[in-house]
Amino acid sequence: LAKTTQPISMDSYEGQEVNITCSHNNIATNDYITWYQQFPSQGPRFIIQGYKTKVTNEVASLFIPADRKSSTLSLPRVSLSDTAVYYCLVGRNTGRRALTFGSGTRLQVQP
Amino acid sequence: GAGVSQSPSNKVTEKGKDVELRCDPISGHTALYWYRQSLGQGLEFLIYFQGNSAPDKSGLPSDRFSAERTGGSVSTLTIQRTQQEDSAVYLCASSFGDGETQYFGPGTRLLVL
């Protein structure tokens, strides 16, 4: 399994753009990159998934360079409600059933 | 529609007692997963179901842990002779199929005294 490395914590202010980078040097050809968000006392929530280049949805953007050894989750104009732990996961979209979560990045948004 | 539900939301038990945790997946989801999250930690995979069968039980920490799924729907995670180190949040997730996006329930917070 590809191991992921991401910052333990980040601080930001409301209205700013937040970029969280995840390193996954051993990513395999068939692996996808997925990000989950977890609020206190809740289960993780799927945010976005990508394979290469850029993916955007109503919540976030995911930037993946050509070598795919890292990825960056971009949250535009964060609000206090974006305070959460963000997990980067790497794995196959099929065949690998369980998700392997690291320690995640704890994002604290200040007013 | 309704999301993944779990019960009870909180469970306090005494060391040595057995506990049962229940998961109701999203209707139509064939895959079901159990994870465990200790305080301040990431999630630890326990077991995966496809339908009623469990092709991957590799994460179960000991033989005190077992799980079953009936009717391709509800799943029960049983912990026998609970120990204090079993205290954690037990999370259930379901997905439409193998490899699809997993949707998590709110978890059951287990405290073993």
Q: Is residue A3 part of a domain?
A: no
* Whole-number Cα distances in Å, B1 to A44, B70, B101, B107: 18, 21, 16, 19
Chain A closest-CA separation from residue B4 CA (Å): 10
Domain interval for residue A34: 9-110
Q: Is residue A40 part of a domain?
A: yes
Number of compact structural domains in chain A = 1
Q: Is residue A99 part of a domain?
A: yes
- Option in B33, B56, B98 nearest A94 (CB): B98
Q: Is residue A2 part of a domain?
A: no
pLDDT digits (tens, 9 = 90+) for B16-57: 999 999 999 999 999 999 999 988 777 888 998 989 988 888
Three-state DSSP class for residue B45: strand
Contacts of B33 in chain A (CB under 8 A): 97-99
Q: Is residue A63 part of a domain?
A: yes
Q: What is the CATH number of domain B5-112?
A: 2.60.40.10
| CA A23 – CA A65 distance, rounded (Å) | 11
Secondary structure of chain A: what % helix, strand, coil (to 5)? 5, 50, 50
| CA B43 – CA A94 distance, rounded (Å) | 20
Chain A closest-CA separation from residue B24 CA (Å): 14
Q: Is residue A64 part of a domain?
A: yes
pLDDT of residue B44: 87
Average pLDDT over residues A41-60: 91
Question: What is the side-by-side strand order in the sheet with A84-92?
Answer: A9-13, A105-110, A84-92, A31-38, A45-50
- Option in B43, B99, B107 nearest A95 (CB): B99
Contact between B56 and A101 using a beta-carbon 8 Å cutoff: no
Please classify residue A101 by burial: count the beta carbons closer than 10 Å to its beta carbon, then call 0-12 exposed, 13-18 middle and 19+ buried.
Answer: buried
* Whole-number Cα distances in Å, B110 to A13, A34, A99, B52, B85: 35, 28, 22, 25, 10
Chain A closest-CA separation from residue B43 CA (Å): 5
* Bridge partner residues of A55 (DSSP): A62
Element (H, E) at A27: none
pLDDT of residue B22: 98
Average pLDDT, chain A: 89
**Would you say residue A95 has pLDDT above 50?**
no
Interface test with B, best of A47, A99, A105 (most B CBs within 10 A): A99
Q: Which of B8, B7, B47, B2 is nearest to B29 (CA)?
A: B2
* Whole-number Cα distances in Å, B36 to A16, A22, B40: 33, 23, 12
Tokens 């202010």 -> residue: A13
Q: Is residue A85 part of a domain?
A: yes
Q: Which of A43, A42, A20 is nearest to A99 (CA)?
A: A43
Does residue B46 or residue A100 have the better pLDDT?
B46
